[in-house]
Amino acid sequence: MSKTFYITTPIYYVNARPHIGHAYTTIACDTIARRHRMFGDDTWFLTGTDEHGQKIERAAQAAGKTPQQFTDEISAEFRALWQHMGLTPDDFIRTTSARHQQGVQALWRKIRDNGYIYKGTYTGQYCVSDELYVDAEPGAPCPDCGRPTETVQEENYYFKLSAFQDQLVRLYTEQPDFIRPETRRNEVLSFVRGGLRDLSISRSTFSWGIPVPDDPKHVVYVWLDALANYITALGYGSSDASKFDKYWPADVHMIGKEIVRFHCVYWPAFLLAAGLPLPKSITAHGWLLFEESKMSKSRGNIVRAETIVDVLGTDALRYFLLREVVFGQDGSFSFDALVQRYNSDLANGLGNLASRTLTMIARYFKGEVPYPSNTAHTPADAAIAETATKAIADYGTLFDQFQFSRALETAWGLVSAVDKYIVENEPWSLGEKKDRDEESRSRLATVLYTSAEALRIVTALAHPVMPDATAKIWAQLGLGDIRKFDLAGLQWGQLRLGTKLGDVQAVFPRADKSAVERMQTMEKVEDVVDVLGGGATGVSPVQPSAVRPPAAPKPAVAIPDGKISIDDFAKVELRVAQVKTAERVKGADKLLRLEVDLGTEVRQLVAGIAEAYEPEALIGRKVVIVANLAPRKLRGLESNGMIVAAAPEGGKPVLASFLEDVPVGTRLK
């Protein structure tokens, strides 16, 4: 019987559109799941979206949407992006789904019936951004993220977290691999040893959540709701427990380092309270940094995966993130580094090895894998076989410890060794020799067989990391569908003699300088669109080719697809305003702070047009603004409305204006 393997990502908040930080965790899990599938394990890979709580409720409000409408849209974006990137989760759980709600309520009842829930009053600080109760004085910032906290006083249900302190300490010490890496384990251990206080697990001042069983004035605390996804997705609390019985406990919960406490303290305590088995391990990776700080929507420094996929294909980002960042530590993303790695390791590395080896076999042996000679061999051939055998073993060990970067380095060590081997053995000279004697032909066969076999091995090892390109190389090697290959049996010498090659084509076309510029421009356009009103609070008009916005809910009166009613348009209050003051926003290259006169009032706006307009040139200019947009903060400045501009793809924004003079405050209809 095959082994089961269950791996999960965190479920992502839907207050922001996905970026490569989210993609990072999902790619790592996808890669691990693929390797397990190649070993024949019965694998289950889960991801999803976290859609309840005050943070989401407020984001929906700011976007002028109902929470359900808002979460439907952004959750659909996550799913569409994962599909566009070729990721292969087996399930996608939404916390607003009926199956999840049912499971959470079942878990609550179980914990309650086991005596671990009681009622009390919470007075203290709450950080909405982290959805975390914090120990802080009123008015003090959140000790975790530094954002302002809010004072809440509520009658709440409490979870007896304090009852689990000793059990948790024992767990971390007896099972050192429960939390990886060790630095995180030590942090958690000292946090728990410092003493655990009971945890408030319900809220009653807002309603966007799962009702507490038998007391629906309360909703379940969003972290209890969210963590439960790992079992509700398997059918916990439903009439069909077959998946739960099969896959639980999870082998790996993969998370970012900022949510370690929730996963390593609260989650096991909830499970212990419910009498359920604990996950086998929790692995926390570091942060992806961009422009020196953690990539996140609130910092406004995000890069979208679509941009990279559209320019370099689906494999480049996967390879880059796993090769460049030491898993567990923070790592910086830059377009330059991405393109450099792509060219050196993929276009010139694996891609070049594949095309030169396969082309020579096509040319000198009519596209059939040649027979290595018994006599015409040298120690150099044996050395390649040895390097390959060692690479298979080392790659496996390192990969299983999630040391992806070192694992790939080992495999690419084989690529460089074969490159050198080819240069030194000059198969082209042997092949082009005018009167090719038997000996040079045998030698040529050995060199090309050795190169092709090494190529096959690197391709098999790299498949979970780069599913697309490796599947193509595998087919070009004449080996069929790589997904059917049993990785457990990989060893030197399996390439069958006489195998007929498929069509030879380059898999990693070299990226020229313009690739970096293209990606940067695509991101700039996205930024402007975000500032102009798309982004997290709406669906951007600039959608990458394959990730389309989800369809809007159908109105009662039949309106053709893609159209809106006049009533819908009338909701948008467009007005003429005159710029009074304009200045650059410190630390934000693209933003201007404007004060505009609407006739009835002067307002502050923040607009992403700094790269297209000098502030001085705007003073006195009449512009069009969306006057009834909910206020939002950009770089700490409140923006009351949105300036309307055309956002040409790849270019700078152009403000909407009039040929005739129009009085300030006039409405556009």
Q: Which residues of this protein are in contact with ligand MSP, per CB under 6 A?
A: 10-13, 21-22, 24-25, 50, 226-227, 229, 255-256, 258-259, 287-288, 294-296
Counting every residue, how long is the chain? 669
C-beta closer to ligand MSP: residue 309 or 605: 309
Name the residue among 117, 140, 116, 144 with its Cα closest to residue 129.
144
| Nearest distance, CB of residue 222 and ligand MSP, angstroms | 8
| Nearest distance, CB of residue 18 and ligand MSP, angstroms | 9
| Nearest distance, CB of residue 26 and ligand MSP, angstroms | 8
**Beta-carbon contacts of residue 139 (< 8 Å; ≥ 6 apart):** 148, 149
How would you classify the pairing of strands 331-332 and 288-290? Answer: parallel
Helix, coil or strand: residue 152: strand
Half-sphere exposure of 66 (CA within 13 A, CB side): 6
What backbone phi and psi angles, to 5 degrees, belong to 449?
-65, -45
Name the residue among 260, 263, 318 with its Cα closest to residue 285.
260
C-beta closer to ligand MSP: residue 12 or 365: 12
- Burial profile 114-129: b = 16 or more Cβ within 10 angstroms, e = fewer: eebbeeeebebbbbbb
| Nearest distance, CB of residue 340 and ligand MSP, angstroms | 21
Question: Positive or negative CA dihedral for 380, 382, 383, 385?
Answer: positive
Helix, coil or strand: residue 553: coil
C-beta closer to ligand MSP: residue 22 or 593: 22
C-beta closer to ligand MSP: residue 56 or 407: 56
CA distance 565 to 107: 44
Helix, coil or strand: residue 602: strand
C-beta closer to ligand MSP: residue 250 or 642: 250
Q: What is the layout of strands, in order, in the sheet containing 288-290?
A: 293-294, 288-290, 331-332
| Nearest distance, CB of residue 548 and ligand MSP, angstroms | 22
List, in sequence order, every residue forming a beta bridge with 219; answer none if it has no partner. 203, 211
Other CB atoms within 10 Å distance of the CB of residue 310: 17
C-beta closer to ligand MSP: residue 295 or 430: 295
C-beta closer to ligand MSP: residue 343 or 403: 403
CA distance 378 to 327: 39
C-beta closer to ligand MSP: residue 210 or 445: 210
C-beta closer to ligand MSP: residue 286 or 351: 286
C-beta closer to ligand MSP: residue 75 or 200: 75
| Nearest distance, CB of residue 339 and ligand MSP, angstroms | 20
C-beta closer to ligand MSP: residue 229 or 425: 229
| Nearest distance, CB of residue 573 and ligand MSP, angstroms | 32
| Nearest distance, CB of residue 218 and ligand MSP, angstroms | 20
C-beta closer to ligand MSP: residue 72 or 381: 72
Q: Which residue has the tokens 């040139």?
A: 617
Other CB atoms within 10 Å distance of the CB of residue 95: 27
| Nearest distance, CB of residue 257 and ligand MSP, angstroms | 7
| Nearest distance, CB of residue 147 and ligand MSP, angstroms | 13
Q: Count Cβ atoms within 10 A of the Cβ of residue 101 and give its class: 0-12 exposed, 13-18 middle, 19 or more buried.
A: buried
C-beta closer to ligand MSP: residue 50 or 72: 50
| Nearest distance, CB of residue 270 and ligand MSP, angstroms | 11
Spatial contact of 100 and 93, defined as CB atoms under 8 Å apart:
yes
**Beta-carbon contacts of residue 469 (< 8 Å; ≥ 6 apart):** 313, 315, 346, 350, 351, 507, 508
How would you classify the pairing of strands 150-159 and 199-200? Answer: antiparallel
| Nearest distance, CB of residue 28 and ligand MSP, angstroms | 9
**Beta-carbon contacts of residue 368 (< 8 Å; ≥ 6 apart):** 361, 498, 499, 500, 501
C-beta closer to ligand MSP: residue 87 or 645: 87
CA distance 519 to 304: 10
Name the residue among 256, 326, 323, 260 with its Cα closest to residue 294.
256
| Nearest distance, CB of residue 154 and ligand MSP, angstroms | 22
Binning the chain into helix, strand and coil, the percentages to the nearest 5 are: 45, 20, 40
- DSSP type of residue 177: G
List, in sequence order, every residue forming a beta bridge with 164; answer none if it has no partner. none
C-beta closer to ligand MSP: residue 68 or 242: 68
| Nearest distance, CB of residue 303 and ligand MSP, angstroms | 10
| Nearest distance, CB of residue 544 and ligand MSP, angstroms | 19
Q: How far is CA 426 from the centre of its chain?
A: 43
Q: Which two tokens stand for residue 40?
A: 């024949």
